[in-house]
Amino acid sequence: MSDTVYSVHATKADDVGAVEIVFRTEGEARTYAQSRSSDDRVLSTSVTSFHVGRLGTRRSVAWFVDGVEQSVSFTRRIYPTD
């Protein structure tokens, strides 16, 4: 089993949101995020991947608004890895 997982984060107008769910596959995460981004009060959703228990491995995978995938504009390190 791979230690890579995919989390989905939802952003709402009145709440910065949080990770809602974690999937084992990118496809499942993308499908959920695309659908969830069309829900009432949800502004956007994002999918990120990371390796369980390893800092510095998080990366942007996808971003959705109203069910439409947007361009991921940048990648940044959250934690130093040096």
Decide if 5 contacts 47 (C-beta within 8 A). no
pLDDT tens per residue across span 20-58: 999 999 999 999 999 999 999 999 999 999 999 999 999
Whole-prediction pTM value?
Answer: 0.83
* pLDDT tens track for 53-81: 999 999 999 999 999 999 876 555 555 55
Tokens of 75: 């990648």
Residue 82's pLDDT band (cuts 50, 70, 90): low
Tokens 């981004």 identify what position?
Answer: 37
* Backbone φ/ψ region at 48: left (φ over 0), alpha (ψ -120 to 50), beta: beta
Please choose, from the candidates 24, 27, 32, the residue with its C-alpha nearest in 3D space to the C-alpha of residue 4. Answer: 24
In the chain, the amino acid numbered 54 is R
